[in-house]
Amino acid sequence: MSVIKVMDELLANKIAAGEVVERCASVVKELVENSIDAGSSEIKVELIDAGTKEIKVIDNGKGMDEDDAVLAFSRHATSKIDDEEDLFRLTTLGFRGEALASIASVSKVDLKTSTGELGTHVVLNGGKIVTHEKGDARKGTIITVSELFYNTPARLKHMKSLYSELASITDYMNKLSLSKPDIRFSLSNNGNVILQTDGSDNTLKAIKSIYGSDVARKMLEIHGENADYEIHGYISSPEVHRSSRNNMITLVNGRIVRNTDINRVINDSYHSYKPDNRYPVTVIHITVDPSVIDVNIHPTKMDIKFSKMDTLLELIKENIFKVISTKNLIPEVVIREPKPKYEEMTLNLTRDESDIKQPEPNVSEKVDFEEKELIVNNFYFDDDKDETVTYEVDTTGDVVMENVEAYNQYDEDCMPEMYPVGLVHGTYIICQNEKGMYIIDQHAAKERCNYELFKKQMGNPNVASTPMLFPVTIELSNTEFMILKENMHILRDLKFNIEEFGINSVIIKEHPAWLNGDIEETIRKIIEIVIATEKNFDIEKFNEKVATMMSCKQAIKANMNITMEEMEALVSDLRKCKNPYNCPHGRPTTIFYSNYDMEKLFKRSGFDTIK
């Protein structure tokens, strides 16, 4: 008697749902991607209790006729591909034909759709059609998914908290709005709007909607291409970073993807420009021929394979470094006016409309000044000038400041010339020039100068060595001694004269000429690094660690008074560095106060309204 049977379709759909529908965010993802593939220019997502009770997606796409509306819930039914060859030239987000069938099998679904003529209304419970009737002729689709996992108690029991579910949906919608800035997205939960974009096809405006004006103002544009790939998008100035990699957003042909190699290269490109345990905010679009990638390796379609991955990673690394190494990255201290306690106000712009095309300010009608900034930043694209313009409005609604070349406040002079005038607490050098005042952390600045000097010298095989008056003898454990013995050539290449000296001991008779300070302690630290990196030893990483360690040890300490001549020499050396903005650990070396902000601090200058 045969024991192998063909599965019931509903059972097969429930099994598939285990891969496709992990949580509420999975449902939102599949439904919204269908709306995008349908050519929608406006998509609304309305949630009740973070989607656990209801998820409604409303779009103005091309809709479906009656036959397609019913067939869409069959397994492996799709309009995206016709044959095997189509898998290698995908231009749509969806293509597997599993999502709607899987979602319907574990929930209750209400579908209203129309191509602009007579519409269709379909209701399903647990994957079975219970209602199939004529509907209204509104072009587009409204699909409502309620009581998710009502018929799979085990899955329902393991749903996350409402906050966690909402955070996951919001995160996905944020990324999607950056992927498709030409679509108006709206996300609300229990009637409260969480995300609203304008669909203006301006990625920077989408970044502002998600991260706010302060971050958007500090984003830097990147663009590059090679024979296989083109990249474009925005990366944050090194002073803007987060504790999680989640804000490093990669988009491939409009698809949100996850790739650890790309994230690693992006983060490594910021090396020594930021702390190692912090991550930049990036939105990078990768455009590539669909035949070069494979998106059909996981039901979520977020993990993809690349051909010629090395050329892509090199392209990303080169372009990020090119941008951040040619900009003035000195953090600027921005002074805000005291915040008056108004409970409610309306902002109205009062500038001649013939001079400026004014959008409505992107703020709510009620402004709590205990929590919000006094100045509200707005921007628009001026077609006459063919450039983006930012402006600010004060509480009266008057335009108070205009900045052409939006979000690019950085001077092309990487490190402006400045002149020391004094020292505070034996730690901070005060400098000035015609733009304002600079405060330099002397320890961080010296660390940066030392670091770049040591990196250069360690990479020079012809560096001179210096005999030691009193050779240094170092005793090790037998394990440490065996590891060091295997890697003795590394130290000899750096011009250390090192030999075995008795049992589990070594003696150092010469050291590189650039080594100074507490020689014995530094040598011990270098040997510790060699021993600690015995596995997968990388000379570049070794040089990096040694240079970072020595640059800190040999830097000027805090609370150490130096002369004016020493200040001038340090500032001069800092300006010659490839990256004068951060110490090797990523801390800033310099901060800037503009003349304008200092005058505001001392009430010497009010806002001058633009006439």
CB neighbours of residue 574 within 10 Å: 23
CATH number of the domain that residue 534 is part of: 3.30.1370.100
Indicate whether 121 and 219 sit together in one domain: no
CA distances from 602 to 275, 429, 599, 606, 607 (A): 34, 21, 5, 10, 13
Indicate whether 186 and 242 sit together in one domain: no
- The Cα 87–Cα 450 span in angstroms is 54
Q: Convert the pLDDT of each residue in 168-197 to its tens digit.
A: 999 999 999 999 999 999 999 999 999 999
CA distances from 253 to 40, 146, 294, 476, 489 (A): 17, 32, 12, 55, 48
CATH number of the domain that residue 138 is part of: 3.30.565.10
**Any domain includes 527:** yes
Q: Which of 217, 212, 251 is nearest to 331 (CA)?
A: 217
- The Cα 275–Cα 549 span in angstroms is 15
**In the chain, count of helices (H) and strands (E)?**
17, 27
User: Do 508 and 496 form a contact (C-beta atoms < 8 A)?
Assistant: yes
Containing domain of residue 261, as a range? Answer: 203-324
- The Cα 410–Cα 326 span in angstroms is 10
DSSP state of 329: -
CA distances from 322 to 231, 276, 359, 558, 586 (A): 14, 20, 34, 32, 18
CATH number of the domain that residue 216 is part of: 3.30.230.10
Indicate whether 98 and 55 sit together in one domain: yes
Domain boundary among 174, 196, 218: 196
Q: Convert the pLDDT of each residue in 432-460 to its tens digit.
A: 999 999 999 999 999 999 999 888 877 77
- The Cα 65–Cα 111 span in angstroms is 12
Tokens 């004060």 label which residue? 394
Indicate whether 159 and 262 sit together in one domain: no
Indicate whether 135 and 27 sit together in one domain: yes
- The Cα 65–Cα 122 span in angstroms is 12
Indicate whether 190 and 100 sit together in one domain: yes
Look at residue 71 in the predicted model and tell me its pLDDT: 84
- The Cα 12–Cα 18 span in angstroms is 10
CA distances from 282 to 178, 256, 263, 269 (A): 10, 13, 10, 12
**Any domain includes 289:** yes
**Any domain includes 441:** no
Indicate whether 289 and 141 sit together in one domain: no
Domain boundary among 272, 297, 324: 324
Whole-angstrom Cα Rg for the chain: 30
User: Do 442 and 561 form a contact (C-beta atoms < 8 A)?
Assistant: no
Indicate whether 188 and 211 sit together in one domain: no
Within 21-89, where are the H helices?
24-37, 66-71
184-189 vs 42-48, strand pairing mode: parallel
**Any domain includes 450:** no
Domain boundary among 275, 304, 324: 324
Look at residue 100 in the predicted model and tell me its pLDDT: 85
**Any domain includes 484:** yes
pTM of the model: 0.67
**Any domain includes 501:** yes
- Give the type of residue at 609: T
What residues in the chain have per-residue pLDDT under 50?
14-18, 80-83, 86-87, 95, 340-412, 608-611
Indicate whether 24 and 157 sit together in one domain: yes
**Any domain includes 504:** yes
- Burial (0-12, 13-18, 19+ Cβ within 10 Å), 24: buried
Q: At what angle do helices 519-532 and 539-553 cross, to 10 degrees?
A: 150
Indicate whether 76 and 153 sit together in one domain: yes
- The Cα 112–Cα 72 span in angstroms is 13
**Any domain includes 573:** no
Q: Which of 336, 330, 338, 337 is nearest to 437 (CA)?
A: 330
Domains identified in the chain, total number: 3
Indicate whether 178 and 208 sit together in one domain: no
Indicate whether 191 and 276 sit together in one domain: no
